[in-house]
Amino acid sequence: MHRFHNQKLLRCALTHRSSLPEFGANPNDANERLELLGDSVLDLIVVDNLWRRYPSMQEGDLSKIKSMLVSGIALHKVAEELQIGNFILMSESEARNGGRRRCSILEDTLEALIAALYLDGGISVASKFVVKYILCQAEKLTTTEADNNYKSQLLEFAQGRGIASPYYQIVGERGPDHKKEFEIEVYLGDVLSGRGSGNSKKLAQQNAAHDALNKIQNNIISFINCKEPIQSGIT
């Protein structure tokens, strides 16, 4: 737990612009400038961590992992876990309108807090925070329950890496014609990448693509080992 030497930095990080008429008239008293800095500090820490720990990982995969870990969805989850919304200074009207739970406000405040930690304690303090609350929670932060078009996502993944388009093959059919169950495998190049079943070929293909994407995601986020987190090499 970091104890701030400059309490003004912490207050600024937690100040939403809606509170300025009540708590201060200077636009720089709000956290927007800190949020800009925090965005860059967060990117640097995450990329530095990945680059040092996985020297053979290609740029495309590094970029994909970094994008997942610093996405708005991930930062919102962290901010909610830390209950940052309870500490934000904002106007009463903003709070009544759900400001303490609004994704954009929580994301920006978290980035402002990372900047405040960096300015008050240096890169090592900011890095410890990012490792503990973001890098060590990679799998949870990058998991989404959204209903997606998995075939399109798998196609995009393949095209982005110069791989042939996914190939779907029926490997089994069960049940009567009016209640048929299909089993389908999906290949990326010559590699069996996923398997799925469903009561239609389309659903089975989606499930196979989903299975393939899950395996790919597990492979690229399994780099996190919370028992021995890597700190930033920047001092």
User: Where are any strands of DSSP class E within 41-109?
Assistant: none
The residue length of the chain stands at 235
Tell me which of 35, 48, 94, 111 is the catalytic residue: 111
Tell me which of 35, 39, 94, 107 is the catalytic residue: 39
Rounded distance, CA 94 to CA 213, Å? Answer: 39
Rounded distance, CA 103 to CA 75, Å? Answer: 9
Rounded distance, CA 71 to CA 35, Å? Answer: 14
Residue 173 bears catalytic tag: no
Backbone angles phi, psi at 83, to 5 degrees: 55, 40
Other CB atoms within 10 Å distance of the CB of residue 20:
18
Cα→Cα distances 57→51, 173, 219, Å: 8, 39, 12
For the chain, how are helix, strand and coil distributed in percent, rounded to 5?
60, 10, 30
Residue 108 bears catalytic tag: no
Helix (H) or strand (E) holding 203: helix 201-221
Residues forming the active site: 39, 111
